[in-house]
Amino acid sequence: MKKTTHFLLCCLLGFFVNAQKPDSTKIISYEDQVMVKVNFDTNIEDYVAVYKDEAFLRTKFSINNNINTSFSLDYKIISASFSFAPNFIPGNNDNNLKGKSSYSDIRFRFFPKSFIQTVYYRNLKGFYLNNTKDFDPDWQEGKDPYLQLPDLRIQSFGGITAYSFNKDFSLKSIYYQREWQKESNGSFVPALEYDLTFFKNKDIDNLKSVETQFNLGANLAYYYNWVVTKNVNISPFAFAGVGGKWSSYQEDLENGSKSEKEKNKYFTKKFGGGIHIGYNSDRFLFGGKLNLMSYNYKQDADSRVQNNNTYGLIYVGYRFAPPKVVKNSYDKIQKKVPIL
């Protein structure tokens, strides 16, 4: 992971050479301030498969986390966040019925010109069958444990490259609060998404299986930032996209060997929308977001896989002048590395 992250960071630093400042008459920049934020969100992961040849049999696997927490830090070119799901929060500790799950997400962001570049690593482990009753008619919700896949792990290394066509529109204002847009405005925002994802599992006989997926997709979104007052904004958006998925699957056999690799490629579709409502001042900021997304592809003539993601978030943040030791250290590094 460290080598991959280091390589991605080195490749992306070149974007900063020609970075430009926003128009101060229409957009306020807070990049010279340190900003810390805490987020609480309901990042609910569902993986749904529908099989037509089995009378529309449906499986829905979910992770046992209702509320995630993330901390973010922004200063100059630095923009990073770390998300996890603490067990002490109600809804995250229903391990007796749903099994134990873990979730973590690390992201770094860069902002060259009108681009926003994100690189990330995600790790999820421990899923349960949300629709267990469809497979066991005698199962009782709240009393009987769900069918579980405790060893199923999903790891993703990925990135998102987004571009705003309108220089008077600030996507940073909506997503990261690094800026504040003074006037209402909107923009089309195309984005390229890519990731390398590993699905790893083992059965009761300790036989392992691995599916490797490479995903590439192009999305087109429209955002509108409605500045209600000098401190409040409301920002709805909608998007749609298409892409490709290339997968390779292999499993352990009982005789100690491995199966032949099963390779497939799929055409994927994605769509969704959301809304952001926020309050901003030079120091204090808070707000909420709601995002809805559906991602699906056809495995074959009789089955379809769908990943639905409902994402609600509440954030609180604070900006302050950088401590002298931080500012001086950054300035010294910047003299040696001008692109910073």
Q: What is the pLDDT of residue 279?
A: 98
H or E element that contains 219? strand 208-227
- Strands 262-280 and 232-251, bridge-based pairing: antiparallel
Predicted confidence at residue 20, as pLDDT, reads 44
Helical (H) or strand (E) element with 176: none
Residues 6+ positions from 96 with CB-CB distance below 8 Å? 145
* pLDDT at site 172: 92
For 92, the token pair is 């995250």
User: What is the pLDDT at residue 317?
Assistant: 97
Q: How far apart are CA 224 and CA 166, in angstroms?
A: 11
| Alpha carbon distance 272, 270 (integer Å) | 7
Cα–Cα distance measured from residue 209 to residue 270, given in angstroms and rounded to the nearest whole number: 27
pLDDT for 10 equals 47
Instruction: Return the structure tokens found at 101.
Output: 């799950």
pTM: 0.84
How open is the CA angle 155-160-165, to the nearest 5 degrees?
165
- SS3 of 95, please? helix
| Secondary structure tally for the chain: helices H, strands E | 4, 15
Q: 153 in helix, strand or coil? A: strand
Q: What is the mean pLDDT of each run of 10 residues along the chain (340 residues)?
A: 46 42 77 94 74 66 82 92 79 78 91 91 91 88 89 95 94 93 96 96 85 96 97 97 95 86 93 96 96 87 77 94 88 76
Question: Exposed, middle or buried by CB within 10 Å (0-12, 13-18, 19+), for 224?
Answer: middle
Q: Which residues are within 8 A (CB) of 2 and not within 5 positions of it... i.e. 6 or more apart?
A: none
Note the residue count of the chain. Answer: 340
Q: What is residue 42's predicted lDDT score, i.e. its pLDDT? A: 82
Cβ–Cβ under 8 Å, residues 173 and 27: yes
CA distance 24 to 180: 10
Around 218, how many Cα atoms within 13 Å sit in the side-chain half-sphere?
Answer: 1
- Domain covering 2-336 in this structure, CATH number: 2.40.128.100
- Name the nearest CA neighbour of 85 among 35, 142, 124: 124
Sign for the CA dihedral angle at 140, 41, 149, 47 comes to positive
